[in-house]
Amino acid sequence: MKTKKLFGFFFFLLLAGSYIITFGQEVEEKGAVKEKFKANTYILEHIADSHEWHILTKQNGENVAIYLPVIVYSKEKGLKIFSSGRLAHGQQYKGFKLEEEGNLKGKIVVVNEAGLADEENLPLDLSMTKTVIGLLSAAIIGLILFLSLARSYKKTGISHPKGIQRFLEPVILFIRDDIAIPNIGHKYEKYMPYLLTAFFFILINNLMGLIPFPPPFGANVTGNIAITFILACCTFLITQFSGNKSYWRHVFATPGVPFWLLPIMIPVEIIGLFSKPFALMIRLFANMLAGHIVILSLICLIFIFDTLALAPVSIFFVIFMDFMELLVAFLQAYIFTLLSALFISLAVQEQH
């Protein structure tokens, strides 16, 4: 037991160190030319989506990065597929450019004859960004875990859990016995696939985001509001399509409410339909994004004060925040799954 605790401590120590090393590579070069360190710039760059996966910065200022595929379509130029390295450092390629400033910063735009971005005709961007790679990697990891679990059950049947079963089976039973059945009731089996998928997808992405290196780790997937929006939409659609007569009667003809109050109550109930998934989206997005910002802010203290004297303090707080983020990673996956089950239960429960 002591060995496991010691291993856990050194793991988080290594994690904190890797944060500082990977984050400090660029800062070192900036400091060499006496540029003032801007914490907000570096933090926003690390939590934002990107067309490249930055690894480190060499002593000569050259960036070492994994350039991701760019897939864009415009009416004038058609479908184009090329490496994002073609657009690095403000370069133009095949009439496209990656904006580095302004309202379109970080977006690929079409360049007109004057060499300026054509803001009125933005291309359809289907590129494989950091978020997309992180999302697909989490899906593949989840698929491998559950296929391994299925093969394990096929070989051993219902028996004492072994190997990966010892980790996954208690979690699955927890979701079934403490989330699905208490909230949804006897119809829980119909919604278990979605609840399990949502829980493990969010959990894997949360955990992958805590590890800064190597790729595909370090992508801020659940801290991207577009991802949490889609997850919330899935819960919303399942809830609405599962709604029974009692559920829709409560929305458009609330029992016990006088007829003359219905013109007021119906808009309120309709707003309530959308406010529930909106809360799901914001809660997951804000908590995961805030955790990344806090960790990076603590690391920035070393470079803001330009002294290594703060390194032990920063590492201590980063380790503490890593433990907190690990708790939040599980907690947010649990809360999203619990609230999804609760919203579904409101739609499928029978009228008493």
Q: Count Cβ atoms within 10 A of the Cβ of residue 67 and give its class: 0-12 exposed, 13-18 middle, 19 or more buried.
A: middle
Choose from 218-222, 229-233, 287-291, 318-322 the range with maximum mean pLDDT: 229-233
Interval 249-305: pLDDT, tens: 888 877 777 888 888 888 888 898 899 999 999 999 988 888 888 877 777 776 776
**Is the confidence at residue 136, as pLDDT, over 80?**
yes
Q: Which residues of 277-289 are buried (b: 16+ CB within 10 A; e: fewer)?
A: beebbebbbebbb
Q: What pLDDT sits at residue 340?
A: 94
3-class secondary structure per residue, 92-156: EECCEEECCCCCCCCCEEEECCCCCECCCCCCEECCCCHHHHHHHHHHHHHHHHHHHHHHHHHHH
Which amino acid does the sequence have at 227? I
The pTM of this model reads: 0.82
At 30-65, the pLDDT tens digits run: 444 445 666 677 777 777 888 887 776 665 556 677
Give the percent of the chain with pLDDT over 70. Answer: 80
Q: What pLDDT was estimated at residue 348? A: 87
* Rounded percentage of the chain residues whose pLDDT exceeds 90: 21
195 or 161: whose pLDDT is higher? 195
Residues 239 and 347: beta-carbon distance below 8 Å: yes
| Mean confidence (pLDDT) of the chain | 80
Q: Which long-range contacts (CB under 8 A, 24 or more apart) does 314-321 make?
A: 314/20, 315/13, 315/16, 315/17, 315/20, 318/15, 318/16, 318/19, 318/20, 319/12, 319/13, 319/15, 319/16, 321/291, 321/294, 321/295
What are the boundaries of each domain within the chain?
69-125, 130-348
Q: What is the distance in angstroms between the CA of the first residue and the CA of the last residue of the chain?
A: 51
Question: Residue 342, SS3?
Answer: helix
Longest CA pairwise span in the chain (Å): 75
Per-residue pLDDT for 201 more than 90?
yes
Least confident of 105-109, 229-233, 263-267: 105-109
